[in-house]
Amino acid sequence: MQLTPEQLLQFQSDGFLILPNLFSPVEVALLRAGMDRVFRQDDPANIREKHSQVVRTAMALHQRDEVFARLARHPRFVEPAQQIAGPDLYIQQVKINVKEAFTGEVWQWHQDFATHHHDDGVPEPLALNLHVFLDDVNEFNGPLYFVRGSHRFGPAATRHDTTTTSYPLWVVPPDVLKKMTARGELVSAKGSAGTALIFGDVLVHGSPPNLSPWPRAIFSLILNPVKNHSTSEKRPQHFHHRDLTPVVALADNCLSGAR
Ligand code: SIN
Ligand code: MN
């Protein structure tokens, strides 16, 4: 699948792209069945919420279940990523972030690059984050918030937050965020299950706790140019995979087999 010239321009201008209903209900059902399987596994790559102990993020999914091995190589993700970031991309991270109804906790304001750079030694902010919603995402169940155009400001000053949640994160402090929102509006990324997002490594984003009665699960694939690979193995490999083999796109029907 190729992005249109208009979509590429929009990505360059906003720093993100929302692709409504990119995956079908049948494909989402297959992914949700895979999610149930991996969440039942007792695995160190299932990271639990600080307070409720329910799963917050489940990582290394392409190594743990066939449906995610295929999704990480899906042409609707890989080909647009190659258009934006070049032909040789490796699979850096494959996860599902969940916000359980009532208990799902915050993702503080951050740029993914800060963690990739400080923790994994990634040189440049060239990686792409590709999401697909596994639930309907609305204004109540913890959608991602983006600062439109914040990628233009480049890497921001950050602070390492190891206490707010169970997931240590390099975060953008409130004073920096305030300056950015004076120049770029806030957008919440909402849509039906199957909707996809693409955003770059320095786009500022976060998401609020889930106060609603509706769970919110989002699959996330990070692809990084091989030439921009990590230079530190400080974190366990489920945070940043070491295999630099360029990803090769599968067929468009690789999830469902449907034609
Ligand atoms: C992310 O920063 O990629 C995760 C945010 C979320 O799942 O809400
Ligand atoms: Mn992020």
Domain boundaries, the chain: 5-227
Q: Please tell me the distance from the alpha carbon of residue 13 to that of residue 54, in angstroms, as a whole number.
A: 37
Q: Which of 182 and 196 is assigned the larger pLDDT?
A: 196
Model pLDDT for residues 158-182, shown as the tens digit of each residue: 899 899 888 888 999 999 999 999 9
User: What pLDDT was estimated at residue 251?
Assistant: 98
Q: Say if ligand 1 is within 6 A of residue 220 CB.
A: yes
Q: Is the pLDDT of residue 4 over 80?
A: yes
Please say whether the dihedral angle defined by the alpha carbons of residues 44, 231, 114 and 190, taken in this order, is positive or negative: negative
- Give the atom of ligand 1 at the shortest distance from the alpha carbon of 112: 2
- Give the 3-state secondary structure of residue 228: helix
Nearest to 100 by CA among 49, 50, 136, 145: 49
CATH T-level assignment (fold) for domain 5-227? Jelly Rolls (2.60.120)
The pLDDT of residue 165 is: 84
Rounded CA gap, 183 and 163, in Å?
29
Percentage of the chain beyond pLDDT 90 is: 89
Which token pair is 39?
A: 């969440």
Taking the C-alpha atoms of residue 36 and residue 254, their distance in angstroms, rounded to an integer, is 20
Cα 88 to middle of ligand 2, angstroms? 22
Ligand 1 atom nearest the C-alpha of 110 is 2
Q: Is the pTM of the predicted complex or chain greater than 0.95?
A: yes
For ligand 1, pick from 165, 188, 218 the residue to mutate: most ligand atoms within 8 Å of CB: 218
Report the nearest atom of ligand 1 relative to the CA of 143. 8
